[in-house]
Homo-oligomer: A and B are copies of this chain.
Amino acid sequence: MSNVQRYDATAGGTVTFVNTFDVHSAADEFERVFADISAFMARQPGFIQYTLCRHIDEDKQNRYVNIALWTDVESWRNAVRHPDFQQHAKEIRSRCTNEANMYAPRQSYSVR
């Protein structure tokens, strides 16, 4: 279709942080704590966007993923080294296990 465009996603240096959570606290409590840490991250240099998503399967409602875009990996590293981040991170860690991975975009399609 003419309104779909392919982008070369290898330029620009942006990175995509994918953090998967298995939550063992109440979901609304986890989401509240996550909103606090996200408000902090959103103020740091290099932050572009994040979305916290919850698994749609009924038997996987304790599974979340955070997908975050940053201008560059060094900005993200600076943010997580910040003392305020460490305090927020403690609040998250006590409520879940997680697996975090940092990726760089290769290909992208988007409806314009």
Contact = CB atoms under 8 A, between A and B. Distances in A.
SS of A interface (majority): strand
B52 A107 contact: yes
A73 B56 contact: yes
Contacts of A109: 38-39, 41-42, 47, 49-50
A89 interface: no
Contact of A56 (B42, B47, B56, B102): B102
Interface in A52-97: 52-57, 60, 63-65, 67, 73
Contacts of A6: 35, 39, 42
Nearest to A5: B42
Query: What are the nearest 7 A-B pairs in CB distance?
Result: A53-B103, A49-B110, A51-B108, A42-B109, A52-B107, A4-B42, A16-B53
